[in-house]
């Protein structure tokens, strides 16, 4: 298992260290794990003047999987756009063709009162968001700034999806639904956008190959509302890049903390980039208080999706569950009567149970 490790910025290095610790335990138990470190985001800019340096691109291409921390920091906010940390993330996704982004929102029973929604609304929540990651308005051309004939400034972007882009993410979504409750909700804005009209058409065509899956469609504004009204109606949500960006942040909060949720971004062959869905949290970087669980659970997703090691994935997820059951809590999920721990202590608690 050749794994490129890209800690990135902010809390990235701290949380990735805890996930690497988990990988080292698995390796002690017999898995052949090979780690190679590289820079991305602000760290890439500092090291090589580029948020996605060539050396990192090479490393990532050679690896079977990539473990990424997070990118971004105040220091980089004023750089010209091509040098911004976020560009590193967008470029590695595009470069490795990681079109399928899996963002689970799972509520651990131990945390049911940490959610801002009533426990009965969220208890037992288990949603999988399938977000298309290499197309849409994020990458559509043309885009830019220009002047109108009258000399007024305009900014413009292009929302664009090809049939094949929609079909390949739809197939992943239907296959994901087959392994779960067989319910798929495709989210679009087909009442307004041409891109969405095609999206819906193609999803319905692909659906013919998956008669066992119960397919529904929802407009994105309604989906945003339903996610806080009755989130348990959802099993798998399929959506485009931008809607998925927004809805996955919303869904993550249903579970109490964005610090708990991992993600996988996969290409056609199952190569993947694994990262927590939260950001680099520069305000708490270096203080040993960030929650490492999302990153540790990203390793579980890596075992499952790239290496086909369901046993190891379950082992990691069980260890996390038991650490929570035993009362360990980082600050973001801490509640009265629980053991408040830092990043490293939380990592150690999981490692001990592993």
Per CB under 6 A, residues contacting ligand IPM are 86, 89-90, 245
**CA 1 – CA 34 distance, rounded (Å):** 6
Q: Considering beta carbons, is residue 25 or 277 the nearer one to Mg ion?
A: 277
Bridge partner list, 274:
67, 264
Give the nearest distance from C-beta 17 to ligand IPM in angstroms. Answer: 21
- CA 320 from chain centre, in angstroms, equals 18
Give the nearest distance from C-beta 227 to ligand IPM in angstroms. Answer: 16
Q: Considering beta carbons, is residue 245 or 348 the nearer one to Mg ion?
A: 245
Q: From its phi and psi, is residue 144 left (phi > 0), alpha (psi between -120 and 50) or beta? A: left
**CA 103 – CA 119 distance, rounded (Å):** 21
Residue 157 contact partner, candidates Mg ion, ligand IPM, none, CB within 5 to 8 A by sort of partner: none
348 is catalytic: no
249 is catalytic: yes
Residue 90 contact partner, candidates ligand IPM, Mg ion, none, CB within 5 to 8 A by sort of partner: ligand IPM
Residues 286 and 80: beta-carbon distance below 8 Å = no
Give the nearest distance from C-beta 242 to ligand IPM in angstroms. Answer: 8
269 is catalytic: no
Residues 261 and 276: beta-carbon distance below 8 Å = yes
**CA 266 – CA 272 distance, rounded (Å):** 4
Residue ranges that bind Mg ion, judged by CB under 5 A: 245
Q: Considering beta carbons, is residue 245 or 348 the nearer one to ligand IPM?
A: 245
Strand stretches in 240-311, DSSP E: 262-266, 272-276
Residue 250 contact partner, candidates ligand IPM, Mg ion, none, CB within 5 to 8 A by sort of partner: none
The three-class DSSP label of residue 70 is: strand
Give the nearest distance from C-beta 279 to Mg ion in angstroms. Answer: 8
245 is catalytic: yes
Q: Considering beta carbons, is residue 244 or 324 the nearer one to ligand IPM?
A: 244
61 is catalytic: no
Residue 126 contact partner, candidates Mg ion, ligand IPM, none, CB within 5 to 8 A by sort of partner: none
CB under 8 Å to 30, separation ≥6 — which residues?
Answer: none
Catalytic (active-site) positions: 138, 189, 221, 245, 249
């Amino acid at each position: 298992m050749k794994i490129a490790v890209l800690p990135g910025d902010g809390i990235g290095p701290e949380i990735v260290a805890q996930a690497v610790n988990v990988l080292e335990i698995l390796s002690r138990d017999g898995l052949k794990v090979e780690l190679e470190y590289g820079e991305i985001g602000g760290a890439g800019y500092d090291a090589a003047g580029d948020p996605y340096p060539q050396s990192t691109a090479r490393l990532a291409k050679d690896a079977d999987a990539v473990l990424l921390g997070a990118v971004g920091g105040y220091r980089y906010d004023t750089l010209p756009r091509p040098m911004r940390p976020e560009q590193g993330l967008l470029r590695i996704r595009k470069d490795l063709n990681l079109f399928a982004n899996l963002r689970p929102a799972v509520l651990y029973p131990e945390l049911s009162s940490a959610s801002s929604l009533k426990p009965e609304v969220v208890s037992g929540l288990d949603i999988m968001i399938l977000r298309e990651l290499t197309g849409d308005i994020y990458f559509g051309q043309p885009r830019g700034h220009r002047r109108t004939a009258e000399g007024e400034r305009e900014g413009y972007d292009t929302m664009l999806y090809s049939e094949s882009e929609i079909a390949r993410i739809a197939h992943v979504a239907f296959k994901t639904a087959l392994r779960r409750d067989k319910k798929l909700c495709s989210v679009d804005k087909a009442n307004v956008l041409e891109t969405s009209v095609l999206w819906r058409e193609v999803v319905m065509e692909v659906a013919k190959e998956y008669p066992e899956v119960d397919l529904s469609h929802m407009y994105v504004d309604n989906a945003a509302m339903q996610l806080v009204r009755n989130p348990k109606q959802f099993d798998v949500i399929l959506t485009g890049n931008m809607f998925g960006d927004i809805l996955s942040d919303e869904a993550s909060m249903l579970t109490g903390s964005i610090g708990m949720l991992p993600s996988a971004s996969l290409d056609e062959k199952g190569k993947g980039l694994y990262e927590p869905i939260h950001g680099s949290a520069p305000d708490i970087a270096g203080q040993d208080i960030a929650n490492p669980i999302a990153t540790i659970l990203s390793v579980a997703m890596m075992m499952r999706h790239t290496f086909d090691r369901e046993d190891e994935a379950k082992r990691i997820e069980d260890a996390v569950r038991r650490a929570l059951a035993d009362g360990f809590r980082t600050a973001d999920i801490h509640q009265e009567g629980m053991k408040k721990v830092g990043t490293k202590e939380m990592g150690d608690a999981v490692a001990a149970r592993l």
